[in-house]
Amino acid sequence: MDTASKNVSDLYKKFPYPFPSSQIKNVNELLNLFKIFSIENNFSFDYKNVLDAGTGTGHRIVNVALNYKKTHFLGLDFSKNSIQIAQELAKKNKIMNIKFGVANLLRKIDSKRKFDVILSMGVLHHLSNPEKGLKNILSVLEKNGILFLYLYGKLGGHQRMINKKIISLLLKNKTNYEKGIKLVKEMKFDSFEYGWNIDYKNELEKNSVIVDAYLHTNEKLYDFDDIDTLMQNSGLFGYSIFGITTKTQGLLFTTKINSKRKLKIPYSDINKFFSSKISLKYFDSLDIKDKCKIIELFYEPNGYTIIGLTKKIYNSLDPKSRIKQNFVKC
């Protein structure tokens, strides 16, 4: 294990994320993602094999498993402490369709089977080599498989990174998390943006969130160009930005203008920013990459949900689907 990975491992040993307890929690972001994807694409997760690569303490994937009992789940993480919590969580709640195991995503995944769906939500940006980690998890993706990624956003992460740098400069020992937590609270940095504002019930649980947001030893932030570079080298057929998170809310991502079919869930609406027909016409004439870049400049995401597709699964989707409208070919 390289130094960066060892530091991350030590961090999660002391402060498991998202929760240090084996109690069911109200963290439904991943469950909602499954439901939205299923409805929009007429896709059934039943009887699929799903890998959660970097599952942490398993609270998010357990909530999914509780709602998709015909689906088979495997959660992997390199933190033994986190996996122990996840296993206790599943056992206490008698969840039979999920298993957990310890694995380092920077090494080849030891699996005899391949997976129809692979999740890696908020994980790759903490690896010392995200490109290698992505290729390792994709090596066990079926030929008609789907990849779900969540990556931190560079534009919307600006203030958090300033606060994080302030804390880092004040601390002499960067891995003294207890002093760091106290300092974050004294500086009143412990009000969290959307994405970290999760259902913590006590100070111990809040401390895990503080460490992840402000004291993490290794993280990389992405903008659209960075995402495109990562995905172009992945070996996938292509990808779509499925959603973005801002400081205050999550949004479905669309590049359409004047859509007759209004989405019921909040979405990225370029019409809010272009007041003239000429500017909208210019926007509509752009290729998909430049449209994505303009939207991110307006919304300044602090996170991106990305859907990666193999050619088989791409061909099976409705040509009018939002994923195909946002699709970038690799």
- 69/207 Cα distance (integer angstroms): 32
Q: Which of 312, 303, 313, 308 is nearest to 326 (CA)?
A: 308
Is there a domain that residue 279 lies in? no
Question: For 244-256, what is each residue's pLDDT tens digit?
Answer: 999 999 999 999 9
Where is pLDDT greater, at 263 or 204? 204
CATH value at residue 58: 3.40.50.150
What CA–CA distances, in Å, run from 144 to 17, 138, 169, 251, 303?
A: 31, 12, 47, 27, 26
More confident of the two residues 35 and 9: 35
- Same domain for 65 and 40, yes or no, is yes
Say if strands 49-53 and 115-121 run parallel, antiparallel, or are unpaired: parallel
Task: Let me know whether 73 and 133 are in one domain.
Answer: yes
At 26 the pLDDT is 83
Residue 262: pLDDT band by 50, 70, 90 thresholds?
low
Contacts of residue 166, Cβ cutoff 8 Å, sequence gap at least 6 = 187
Residues 162 and 110 in one domain: no
pLDDT score, position 164 = 95
Confidence of residue 3 (pLDDT cuts 50, 70, 90): confident
Please tell me the predicted confidence (pLDDT) of residue 298. 97
Residue 100 lies in a domain: yes
CA distances from 207 to 57, 201, 225, 262, 311 (A): 15, 11, 33, 40, 43
Q: 221 vs 197, which has greater pLDDT?
A: 221
Inside any domain, residue 86: yes
- Confidence (pLDDT) at 25: 87
Residue 272 is given by DSSP the state G
Decide if 318 is inside a domain.
yes
Cα angle: 49, vertex 91, 79; to 5 degrees: 70
pLDDT digits (tens, 9 = 90+) for 36-77: 999 999 999 999 999 999 999 999 999 999 999 999 999 999
Residues 73 and 194 in one domain: no
Residue 167 lies in a domain: yes
Does the pLDDT value for residue 24 go beyond 90?
A: no
* pLDDT > 80? residue 239: yes
Checking 112-115 for CB contacts under 8 A at 24+ apart, the result is: 113/49, 113/140, 114/49, 114/140, 114/141, 114/142, 114/145, 115/49, 115/50, 115/51, 115/74, 115/140, 115/141, 115/142, 115/145
Q: In terms of residue numbers, what domain contains 85?
A: 3-155+219-250+299-329
Q: Which of 170, 186, 214 is the last residue of a domain?
A: 214
Total tally of structural domains belonging to the chain? 2
Instruction: Count Cβ atoms below 10 Å from residue 319 Cβ, excluding itself.
Output: 7
Other CB atoms within 10 Å distance of the CB of residue 2: 12
pLDDT at 300: 97
What pLDDT does 135 receive? 97
Distance CA 240, CA 65 (A): 25
What 3-state DSSP class applies to 166? helix
pLDDT digits (tens, 9 = 90+) for 184-200: 999 999 988 888 888 88
Start-to-end Cα distance in the chain: 31
pLDDT surpasses 90 at 153? yes
Q: 259 pLDDT exceeds 70? A: no
Q: Residue 44, CB half-sphere, CA atoms under 13 Å: how many? A: 4
CA dihedral 169, 170, 174, 180 (to 10 degrees): -130
> Would you say residue 145 has pLDDT above 60?
yes
Residue 258 has pLDDT above 80, yes or no: no
Q: Are 209 and 316 contained in the same domain?
A: no
Q: Are residues 246 and 101 located together in one domain of the fold?
A: yes
Cβ-contact 307, 144 below 8 angstroms? no
Per-residue pLDDT, 5: 86
Nearest residue to 111 via CA among 88, 141, 86, 131: 141
Whole-Å CA distances, 257 to 3, 234, 313: 47, 30, 26
Residue 312: both structure tokens together:
């088989």
Confidence band for 261, pLDDT divided at 50, 70 and 90: low
Asked if the structure places residue 278 within a domain, the reply is no
pLDDT score of 212 more than 70:
yes
10: number of Cβ within 10 Å: 14
pLDDT of residue 6: 87
Q: Residue 260: pLDDT above 70? A: no
Mean confidence (pLDDT) of the chain: 94
pLDDT in tens, 266-304: 999 999 999 889 999 999 999 999 999 999 999 999 999
Q: What percent of the chain has pLDDT over 90?
A: 84
CA distance 119 to 141: 10
